[in-house]
Structure formats: C-alpha cells, structure tokens
Structure 1
Amino acid sequence: MILLGTLVNGIAIAAGSLLGTFLTGMRKEIHETVMQGIGLVVLVIGLSMALEAQNFISVLLSLVVGGILGGWLKVEDRLNQFGKWVENRWKGESRFSTGFVTGTLVYCIGPMAVLGGLDSGLRGDHEVLYTKSLLDGFTAILFSSSMGSGVLFSMIPVALYQGAITLSAGWITQFLDKEALDQVIQQVTATGGILIIGIGINLLGLGKIRVGDLLPAIPVAVAVALVMIRFSI
C-alpha cells in the first residue's frame, strides 16, 4: 500500500494528540513551565533546520516574498477565523490556531517528510515515515497537552502534504535529479526552520510574530530553489 507510511504517521499524530488532551488538567505553574520547555525545544528544532541554509539571501528572499503574499492573502487572520469557528464547535476550546499551525509546521517541514514520502512512492519503503511517526506521536502528546485540539487537526495537512509527495514521487524524479532535489529540500528546510523559530518565540512570549502570514514562504522557497537550479546560481 503506497500510502501506508503516511497513514501510520497520521494515526500516530492523532493518537498522541488524543492522549495529550487527558494531560491538560495540570496546575497553571506546571502548564507554563511545560509551554516554556516546548518553546525552547521548538526554537532548537527551528535553529538546527535554519542553519542548513547554504544561501541565506535566497532564504531571505523567500521570507520577504512569502510575507508579502501572506499579508495580502491575510493568511494569519483566516487561520484565526478558522480556529474560532472550530473552537465554537469543539466545546469552545481556546488556543486552537496555535496548536494547528505549530503542529502543521513541525510535522510537515523537514527532510523526513519529503524523503519519507519519496521512499514510499518510489520504493514502497515506509521505514523513514515509520520513524517520523514515532517522533511525531510523542511530540503530539506534549503539544496537545499544552496547546489543545488544534494539534489533532494538523494531521490533515500532514496527510495531504506527505500523500501528495508520495503519489507524485515518480513525476518529481523525472524533472529533478538527486542533487537538485537535495537543493530544494535544503531551501525548504532552512526557510521552514526560520518559521519554526518564530513559533518558538511566540510560545515563549518573547514577541508576536505573524507566522501564518509567512507560510507562503514555503512554496516560494521551492520556486526560488528551482530558479537557482535552472540558472545554476
């Protein structure tokens, strides 16, 4: 089954999120400490990904163009509106948008999501996605215990994203050789890492970064990488 790895990944996120919801009844001080710990871990994850950039100018270009597009499309506001709509139907739970965006970025951005999807599509080998499922499942427990049910719903974009990579794996490799694919993954990982750093800053209460408006930077990063490959920049 070509989508087995993605299916297992989605189930792991759902199971971890549901388990985490049973850990929400903790004291305020403990909750704040857990949130700070998660924020620090998210910062480290984002920093490790961002440092993979070979060309920070291209990453900056992706963020600037993506930020302009995101602001024009009002991505952050639309995500918040969607979160409020779901909150009203999900027993009024707060923090939905934070959990949804955080989970989506952490689970979607990174080489394991791309390489695992390609392995599943090209060779029917789901080992990378199985490993990712274990990591995502444990992370979902921590995230949902502090950020609520939005983390559970992040399994939807994760399934769509990885499933699309898996189903289009053959088509992708027809146009990109291994070196070019590595460059695209590197560009997306570095750009996504900076967005994840923004989430960590928000979780720690150090500022308010409109990470939602920066989400278009991810597809822009793919386009920038393809242009660089095309013109050998």
Structure 2
Amino acid sequence: MRGLGTIINALAIIAGGVLGICGRRFLKARYQDTIIKATGFAVVFLGAAGTLSKMLAVSEDGTLTVNGSMVMIVSLAVGALVGELIDLDAQFERFGDWLKHKTGSDGDNQFTAGFVAASLTVSIGAMAVIGSIQDGIYGDHSTLAAKAILDFIIVLIMASSMGKGCVFSFIPVAVLQGTMTALAAVLAGFMTDAVLWNLSLVGNILIFCVGINLVWPKTIKVANLLPALLAAVGMELCL
C-alpha cells in the first residue's frame, strides 16, 4: 500500500510526543534544558555524519577526497535567497501560533518553538526524501518505517523538554512525505541516483542546522533553507 510508510511515521511521532509529555511532569526545568541540548548535539552529529558520508571518499591511492562541494554551496546559497524572499521561517512560526491558539495552548510559551524545532528535525533529511520516493514508486515503506522508530525516540525526548507543540510535527511530516510519495510515481524518471545523492547531501546539512538551533536557539533560520532541496535537484537536472 503506497503511503503506508508516512502513516506509520505520523503515528509514531504522535505516540512519541504523547509519551514525552506524560514524562515531562517528572522533569525539573534544568533537566529539560539539559535534555534538549543533549538532543541538539545528537542531531548535530547525525547531520554531520550523514553529510560527511556523502562528501568524503577514499581514492584508489588511499587519499581522502571531497565530493559535492559545489552542490552544497550553490544549493544552500540559492535556497537561502529563495527562502528569505518567501520567509518560510515566519510562515512555520505563524502556523505554530495558529495551532497553539486552536489547541487552547496560549499559555504554553514553548509550544511554537517546540513545533518548529520538532517539525524541521523529522521532516527533512535523507530518510524522509528517499523513503517517500521508495514508497511512491515501489510501495516499499521499509525506510520510512525505520525513520518512524528514530522519530519516535527524537520526538519523545523533545516533547519531554519542549512540550506538546512537538506532537504536532506529525502534520508537516504527513503533508511533505505524503506529497513526495504521491509525486514519486509521476517523477520516477527524474529520480536518478545523482538526484537522490544531492537531496541526501543537502538534507543532512539541514539536519545539522536544526541541531545547532536546539543547542543555540534561533541561530539559523532553517525553514528558510528548505528551498535548497529543490535547488539541489535543479542543479543535477540542468547539468
């Protein structure tokens, strides 16, 4: 069943978020702060590891080579320009504020921050993109099922320190992954290994940026970098 992977992923996020909220009452504020920073460093290293796994390679003579530097620089620069023009970061926050009001959480000062941080952590990255494409083209939801387990743990930890806003990160996951899954069959001819490589590289860099924001809040407007994913695809298709 195509789309099953996204459904599993969304349900795992909800479950992790609810469990995190239930455990939050037992954690003092200083514990919550330490947990979110620890989570941030974990996300930083996940993003860095994913990026380096794409960029670094060992040549036949045993020397270390770097690939994808131009893709990284151009995609991020173009993506940042487009993202700032659209101001996706502000739109994410406005949607978070709307959810905050609609769910009767106006007194929760961390709601919007939790929603934005969790959404960007679980919505972007190699597994989200590649898993959605596999689900759409082959009906193979194994990658998204594995991602669901990781997201369950991540959102559980984030919700325990940032509150119930994290639970609603299932919404952008359902929308973004569902859309990619639906479009995958139509765009199957364009999804070459090179395109997927570019998407994985840039997606992991954005994951790294999300981790930075968890440790040092509002350092990078990660949502405004999301168009870099489209730029990465465009670079490969234009070459």
TM-score bin, normalised by smaller chain: 0.7 to 0.9
Counterparts of 1:1-233 in structure 2 under 5 Å?
A: 1-25=1-25, 26-51=27-52, 52-53=54-55, 54-90=67-103, 91-92=105-106, 93-176=108-191, 181-205=192-216, 208-227=219-238, 231=239
C-alpha distance in 2 between matches for 1:106 and 1:17: 13
Q: Is the 1:38–1:142 contact (alpha carbons within 8 Å) kept by the matching residues of 2? A: yes
Alpha-carbon deviation of 1:136? 1.4
C-alpha distance in 1 between matches for 2:83 and 2:216: 22
Change (3 A) 1:175 1:42: closer
C-alpha distance in 1 between matches for 2:213 and 2:138: 39
Alpha-carbon deviation of 1:34? 0.4
Amino acid in the other structure paired with 1:193? N
Amino acid in the other structure paired with 1:189? S
Amino acid in the other structure paired with 2:68? N
- Please give the per-residue CA displacement for 1:105-144, whole angstroms capped at 9, x wherever unaligned: 3323333223332333333332222222122112211121
Alpha-carbon deviation of 1:225? 2.6
- In the superposition, the TM-score normalised over structure 1's length comes to 0.85
| Structure 1 residue matching 2:23: 3-state secondary structure | coil
Structure 2 unaligned runs (5+)?
Answer: 56-66
Change (3 A) 1:148 1:184: farther
| Structure 1 residue matching 2:120: 3-state secondary structure | helix
Give the 4+ runs in structure 1 shifted more than 3 A: none
Change (3 A) 1:127 1:87: same
- In the superposition, the TM-score normalised over structure 2's length comes to 0.83
C-alpha distance in 2 between matches for 1:100 and 1:219: 23
- Quick one: percent identity of the two aligned structures? 35
C-alpha distance in 2 between matches for 1:37 and 1:199: 13
Amino acid in the other structure paired with 1:214? L
Alpha-carbon deviation of 1:206? 7.3
C-alpha distance in 1 between matches for 2:139 and 2:197: 24
Change (3 A) 1:162 1:213: closer
| Structure 2 residue matching 1:9: 3-state secondary structure | helix
Change (3 A) 1:82 1:162: closer
Structure 1 unaligned runs (5+)?
Answer: none
Q: Is the 1:87–1:94 contact (alpha carbons within 8 Å) kept by the matching residues of 2? A: no
Alpha-carbon deviation of 1:24? 2.1
Q: Is the 2:17–2:156 contact (alpha carbons within 8 Å) kept by the matching residues of 1? A: yes
